[in-house]
């Protein structure tokens, strides 16, 4: 009964629907039969910025709501962990049945014992090197989100909306996971563009050399500025009496988005790229 109520709650709040729509949109970028291109990868990354910004804005509606993350609060029969973990675990189980994790763009936070897909899957073979499936850094994403990021944009307090809070957290986590693991596609495109440039570092297992090849500081600066501006535009407090529409008030501080990308999203994306490239010639 608890699981059934949770599923109804998640569908009511659009979590499953929104994620499935995002997944379909992302797949249209890379295609199930064609390899990703520079243009399709760039467009997908930019759209994923929107999803992340909106996700943080939605989560910022609620205060921290600490009981959501306490195992002593939930005490769910047959499950050990917090309400946030329970929501993520059960939602991923449902989404796995719907085929979400058959996509190379999706990586579960609780991969152990995920149920098999019950729907026909698309053909994703040939998009990435088979070793891509072994790269999953969601533990690092989970840790930085709850240990460092959340307190930067959610205000202290407790309003009792723990289930809605956990659902909003999962939207953010899955959006961040999709964006960071999209580094596999970025790495594939870059490798195919210049294989001779990457092969020596790959064969030498030289992580530092690969990281240097993958880092373009001017691009990273542009990304940080763009996500901060999106936070200003998407998260402004609109009033009929103001001329600029915001009065300097935003639902999420734009500097948080810039910091999110600078300290976590881009470094972890490059980590995924390096791990992928190290396996690319296997």
Q: List 208's β-bridge partners, or say none.
A: none
Q: What confidence tens digit (pLDDT) does each residue in 105-121 have?
A: 999 999 998 999 999 88
**Cβ neighbours of residue 33 closer than 8 Å, sequence gap 6 or more:** 123, 126
Between 24 and 67, the more confident residue is 67
Q: How far apart are CA 9 and CA 167, in angstroms?
A: 9
- Angle at which helices 183-193 and 266-279 cross, to 10°: 50
| Total residues found in the chain within this entry | 282
Please tell me the predicted confidence (pLDDT) of residue 246. Answer: 58
CA–CA distance from 244 to each of 203, 239, 241, 252, 256 (Å)?
Answer: 55, 9, 9, 17, 21
**Cβ neighbours of residue 68 closer than 8 Å, sequence gap 6 or more:** 82, 83, 84, 162, 165, 166, 169
Q: Range with the lowest mean pLDDT among 129-133, 153-157, 183-187, 237-241?
A: 237-241
Phi and psi (nearest 5°) for 271? -60, -45
**Is 65 in a helix, a strand, or coil?**
coil
Please tell me the predicted confidence (pLDDT) of residue 144. Answer: 98
Please tell me the predicted confidence (pLDDT) of residue 126. Answer: 75
Between 37 and 241, the more confident residue is 37
**Cβ neighbours of residue 136 closer than 8 Å, sequence gap 6 or more:** 107, 108, 111, 181
- How large is the average pLDDT for residues 178-198? 96
Please tell me the predicted confidence (pLDDT) of residue 2. Answer: 45
- Angle at which helices 162-181 and 38-59 cross, to 10°: 160
pLDDT band at 24 (very low <50, low <70, confident <90, very high): very low
Q: How far apart are CA 155 and CA 242, in angstroms?
A: 25
- How large is the average pLDDT for residues 187-207? 96
- How large is the average pLDDT for residues 187-193? 95
Please tell me the predicted confidence (pLDDT) of residue 238. Answer: 78
pTM of this prediction?
Answer: 0.87
Please tell me the predicted confidence (pLDDT) of residue 57. Answer: 98
Q: What confidence tens digit (pLDDT) does each residue in 173-186 have?
A: 999 999 999 999 99
The share of the chain scoring above pLDDT 90, in percent, equals 77
């Amino acid at each position: 009964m608890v699981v059934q109520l949770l599923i109804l709650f998640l569908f009511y709040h659009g979590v499953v629907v929104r994620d499935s729509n995002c997944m379909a949109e992302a797949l249209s970028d890379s295609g199930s039969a064609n390899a990703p291109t520079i243009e399709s990868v760039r467009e997908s990354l930019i759209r994923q910025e929107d999803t992340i910004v909106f996700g943080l804005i939605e989560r910022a509606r609620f205060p921290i709501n600490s009981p959501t993350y306490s195992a002593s609060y939930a005490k769910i029969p047959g499950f050990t962990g917090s309400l946030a973990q329970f929501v993520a675990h059960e939602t991923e189980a449902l989404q796995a049945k719907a085929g979400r994790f058959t996509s190379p763009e999706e990586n579960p936070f609780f991969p152990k014992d995920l149920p098999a897909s019950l729907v026909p899957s698309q053909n994703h073979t040939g998009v990435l090197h088979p070793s891509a499936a072994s790269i999953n850094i969601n533990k690092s994403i989970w840790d930085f989100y709850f240990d460092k990021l959340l307190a930067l944009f959610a205000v202290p307090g407790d309003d009792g909306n723990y289930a809605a809070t956990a659902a909003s957290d999962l939207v953010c986590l899955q959006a961040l996971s999709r964006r960071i693991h999209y580094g596999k596609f970025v790495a594939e495109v870059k490798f195919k563009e210049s294989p001779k440039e990457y092969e020596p570092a790959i064969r030498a297992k030289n992580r530092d050399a690969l990281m240097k090849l993958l880092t373009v500081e001017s691009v990273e600066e542009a990304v940080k500025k763009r996500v901060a501006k999106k936070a200003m535009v998407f998260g402004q407090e609109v009033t009929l009496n103001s001329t600029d529409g915001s009065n300097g008030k935003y639902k999420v501080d734009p500097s948080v988005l810039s910091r999110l990308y600078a300290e976590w999203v881009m470094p972890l994306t490059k980590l995924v790229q390096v791990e992928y490239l190290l396996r690319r010639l296997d």
